[in-house]
């Protein structure tokens, strides 16, 4: 047993206290905090905990706000897609109105042909030729067997003959047909020198003159010259009168002396052609052409049959009626040409092309379905679809006193957007106009709805950013209130280390002194 005197007891007490202070100071230096609990400093600890608690609450609030913002932003993207669809719908409406407003001189193949469709069956040297009643001709010479209809269309469209080719929706959704259209108010013809292998791609061509389309009988066979009966196919809306000679006529068919005809030309003037001496059909065609009066005399294979028979046809190239005022001799009904006496060939009504309108209408209806699908499947992150009349509630602060509620709408094309007039009814001008009015109204409604949600978005985002600032500030302040002065605490730690060393040495010296005394007494 080692007795402890008062000096040694004091040294041990100092060492114990020094160790306690050393541990505390070391803890402050390591943690950076001076106050660890309310026993350290009630006021500072409580204030710090309040600030840190509010910071945590604001973090939770902002997690909820972020879901609301994601819902608003996703909905805005969906509305942008809908606006694009409505604008596409307006474009379709405009195209449909243009097709039906003034009518068109056009002929459309019923075959499914697009720009990439290759012209089948042709040979190098094959020809495709179109002549406008303006007198201009387009001729395409094939130098390859892999030519597409898009290439031909491009070449025709830059040729400036008054005829263009375009690709329009087919009767079956998703198909495309090629259309040849006059842009100068003149009729036009597919010339007989065209290879029948080109023309047989264009199934379904029709004309108001009633000429029957038959590629094999109206056009040249390959690169060979056309036969006498292969006279081509004419798209004609102007009035026409065709001879009725049962056996047909040729350029060499004789017209007897004393034959005459009085007709109204394309400019409304009366013209008389008399033949005192016998002449031929070929000469008569030359004489009519020389008049330059808007009337075309031509041989035509009207039936489209093999070998003819050819008939002589008078046609108004200016689009009006074809009037024969008087006819005698070879031009009379019983004459060699066989015109049916005094008669009028009435001009045809320009095509309103309701089939094309309805094809555009099918695309319009598909857009309406797509709008409905977008509204139903709006990919919001928390399952609250603002486009299906659902409401989201966003808590903006930690006091739970002022949540903001954003009400959705039940959005459908026919309902909220008013686009109730179907494209399937566009054959009627009034229905087409209704679709146009409704689509413009839908565009306005979408823009208004987008602006409404954008206002909420801006307000909520501003609060989100403010909360984030508050969160950072509260956490920083809460930490600073209970923070230790690390420089001061480090200096104190160093001093305590020195004091601890001195106390240990004092205890050691006292212990050695006690042991020396015991040895002397012993």
End of a domain among 287, 321, 351? 351
Does residue 50 lie in a domain region?
Answer: no
Per-residue pLDDT at 268 exceeds 60? yes
Distances (CA, A) of 446 to 75, 352, 387, 452: 11, 33, 11, 10
Q: pLDDT digit string (tens) for 354-380?
A: 777 888 999 999 999 999 999 999 887
Q: What percent of the chain has pLDDT over 70?
A: 72
pLDDT at 379: 84
Q: Would residue 513 count as lying in a domain? A: yes
Torsion of CA 508, 514, 519, 522, to 10 degrees: -150
136 vs 30, residue with greater confidence = 136
272, 309: one domain: yes
Q: Helix-strand-coil percent breakdown of the chain, rounded to 5?
A: 45, 20, 40
Residue-wise DSSP of 173-204: TT-EEEEEEESSS--EEE-TTSBHHHHTTSTT
Answer yes or no: is pLDDT of 225 > 60. yes
Residue 343 has pLDDT above 50, yes or no: yes
Under a CB-based contact definition with an 8 Å cutoff, are residues 338 and 243 in contact?
yes
**Residue of higher predicted confidence among 282 and 45:** 282
Is 314 part of a structural domain of the chain? yes
Residue 37 lies in a domain: no
Tell me the percentage of the chain whose pLDDT exceeds 90: 56
φ/ψ (deg, to 5) at 450: -60, -40
- Coil, strand or helix: which one is 425? helix
pLDDT at residue 40, as a whole number: 58
For residue 42, is it within any domain?
A: no
Q: Is the same domain home to 166 and 273?
A: no
What lies within 8 Å, CB to CB, of 522 at 6+ separation is none
The CA distances from residue 219 to 3, 304, 336, 441, in Å, are: 137, 10, 26, 52
pLDDT in tens, 78-111: 999 999 999 999 999 998 888 766 678 999 999 9
**Do 440 and 90 contact (CB within 8 A), yes or no?**
yes
- Give the pLDDT of residue 501: 59
Residue whose pair of structure tokens reads 């413009």 in the numeric block: 440
Length of the chain: 522
Q: Nearest CA to 282 among 333, 238, 327, 337?
A: 337
Lowest mean pLDDT among 108-117, 120-129, 472-481: 472-481
- Cα 273 to the center of its chain, rounded Å: 59
Three-class secondary structure of residue 24 per DSSP: helix
- Domain extent, residue 230, equals 104-236
Residue 503: is its pLDDT beyond 60?
no
Residues 231 and 112 in one domain: yes
Question: Of the candidates 331, 351, 371, which is a domain's last residue?
Answer: 351
DSSP secondary structure, 74-125, as one string? HHHHHHHHHHHHHHHHHHHHHHHHHHHHS-B-EEE-SS---TTPBPPS--TT
**How many other CB atoms are there within 10 angstroms of residue 401's CB atom?**
8
- Asked whether the predicted pLDDT for residue 149 surpasses 90, the reply is yes
Q: Which range has the worst mean pLDDT, 241-245, 287-291, 364-368, 464-468? A: 464-468
| pLDDT score at 396 | 62
Same domain for 115 and 232? yes
Contacting residues for 441 by C-beta, under 8 A, at least 6 apart? 417, 418
CB 234 within 8 A of CB 188: yes
Is the domain of 460 the same as that of 491?
no
| pLDDT (average), residues 171-195 | 92
Mean pLDDT of the chain: 83
d(CA 471, CA 62): 10
Q: Average pLDDT for residues 102-128, to the nearest whole number?
A: 93
Tell me which residue has tokens 């269309």: 153
Q: Provide DSSP, 266-330.
A: TTS-EEEEEESS-EEHHHHHHHHHHH-SSEEEEEE-TT--TT---EEEEEETTSS-EEEEEEEGG
Q: 456 lies in a domain?
A: yes
For residue 45, give Cα distances in angstroms to 36, 40, 56, 239: 7, 8, 16, 103
Torsion over CA of 312, 267, 324 and 279, rounded to 10 degrees? -50
Residues 69 and 140 in one domain: no
- Model pLDDT, residue 70: 76
CA–CA gap between residue 312 and residue 327 (Å, rounded): 14
- Between CA 164 and CA 152 the distance in angstroms is 10
Q: Are residues 291 and 252 in the same domain?
A: yes
Domain boundary among 176, 209, 236: 236
> Listing from the earlier edge strand, what are the strands of the sheet with 259-264?
270-275, 259-264, 322-328, 343-345
Which pLDDT belongs to residue 1? 44
User: Would you list the DSSP string of 156-173?
Assistant: HHTS-SSEEEEEEE-SST
Q: Which residues of 17-45 are buried (b: 16+ CB within 10 A; e: fewer)?
A: ebeebbebbeebbeeebbbeeeeebeeeb
- Residue 367 belongs to some domain of the structure: yes
- Using DSSP's 3-state secondary structure scheme, residue 264 falls into strand
Looking at residues 314-329, what average pLDDT do you find? 95
Q: Are residues 259 and 245 in the same domain?
A: yes
Residue 466: predicted pLDDT? 61
Global pTM?
Answer: 0.63
Nearest in space to 293 (alpha carbons), one of 326, 319, 269, 323: 269
Q: Please tell me whether residues 232 and 156 are part of one structural domain.
A: yes
Residues 6+ apart with CB under 8 A from 145: 122, 123, 124
Question: 436 and 365 in one domain?
Answer: yes
Q: 12 vs 102, which has greater pLDDT? A: 102
Q: Among all chains, which residue has been given the structure tokens 């400093």?
A: 41
Residues 120 and 134 in one domain: yes
Q: Note whether residue 40 is domain-resident.
A: no
Dist CA 243 CA 336 (whole Å): 9
- In angstroms, the CA 442 to CA 11 distance is 92
Domain total in the chain = 4
| 251 and 315 part of one domain | yes
- CATH number of the domain at 375, please: 1.20.1330.10
């Amino acid at each position: 047993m080692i007795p402890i005197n008062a000096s040694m007891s004091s040294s041990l007490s100092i060492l114990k206290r020094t160790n306690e202070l050393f541990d505390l100071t070391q803890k402050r230096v390591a943690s950076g905090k001076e106050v660890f609990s309310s026993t350290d400093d009630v006021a500072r600890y409580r204030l710090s905990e309040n600030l840190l608690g509010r910071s945590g609450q604001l973090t939770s609030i902002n997690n909820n706000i972020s879901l609301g913002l994601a819902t608003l932003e996703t909905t805005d993207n969906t509305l942008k897609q809908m606006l694009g669809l409505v604008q596409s719908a307006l474009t379709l409406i405009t195209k449909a109105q243009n097709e039906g407003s003034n009518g068109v001189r056009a002929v459309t193949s019923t075959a499914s042909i697009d720009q990439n469709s290759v012209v089948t069956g042709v040979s190098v040297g094959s020809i495709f030729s179109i002549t406008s009643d303006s007198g201009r001709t387009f001729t395409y010479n094939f130098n390859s067997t892999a030519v597409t209809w898009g290439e031909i269309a491009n070449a025709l469209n830059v040729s400036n003959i008054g005829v263009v080719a375009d690709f329009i929706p087919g009767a079956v959704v998703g198909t495309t047909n090629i259309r040849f259209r006059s842009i100068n108010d003149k009729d036009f013809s597919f010339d007989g020198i065209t290879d029948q292998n080109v023309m047989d791609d264009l199934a379904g061509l029709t004309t108001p003159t009633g000429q029957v389309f038959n590629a094999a009988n109206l056009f040249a066979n390959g690169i060979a010259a056309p036969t006498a009966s292969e006279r081509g196919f004419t798209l004609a809306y102007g009035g026409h009168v065709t001879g009725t000679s049962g056996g047909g006529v040729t350029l060499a068919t004789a017209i007897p002396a004393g034959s005459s005809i009085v007709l109204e030309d394309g400019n409304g003037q009366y013209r008389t052609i008399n033949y005192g001496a016998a002449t031929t059909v070929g000469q008569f065609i030359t004489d009519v052409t020389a008049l330059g009066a808007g009337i075309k005399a031509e041989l035509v294979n009207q039936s489209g049959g093999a070998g003819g028979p050819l008939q002589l046809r008078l046609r108004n190239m200016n689009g009006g009626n074809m009037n024969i005022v008087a006819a005698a001799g070879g031009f009379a009904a019983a004459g060699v040409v066989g015109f049916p006496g005094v008669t009028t060939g009435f001009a045809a009504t320009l095509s309103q092309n309701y089939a094309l309108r309805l094809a555009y209408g099918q695309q319009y209806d598909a857009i309406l379905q797509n709008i409905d699908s977008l509204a139903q499947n709006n990919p919001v992150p928390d399952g609250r679809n603002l486009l299906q009349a659902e409401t989201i509630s966003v808590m903006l602060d930690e006091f739970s006193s002022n949540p903001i509620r954003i009400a959705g709408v039940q959005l459908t094309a026919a309902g909220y957007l008013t686009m109730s007039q179907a494209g399937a009814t566009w054959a009627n001008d009034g229905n087409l106009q209704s679709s146009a009015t409704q689509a413009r109204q839908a565009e306005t409604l979408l823009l208004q709805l987008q602006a409404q949600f954008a206002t909420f978005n801006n307000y909520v985002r501003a609060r989100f950013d403010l909360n984030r600032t508050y969160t950072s500030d509260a956490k920083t302040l809460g930490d600073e209130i209970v923070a230790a002065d690390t420089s001061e605490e480090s200096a104190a730690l160093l001093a305590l280390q020195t004091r601890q060393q001195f106390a240990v040495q004092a205890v050691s010296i006292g212990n050695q002194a006690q042991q020396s005394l015991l040895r002397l007494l012993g």
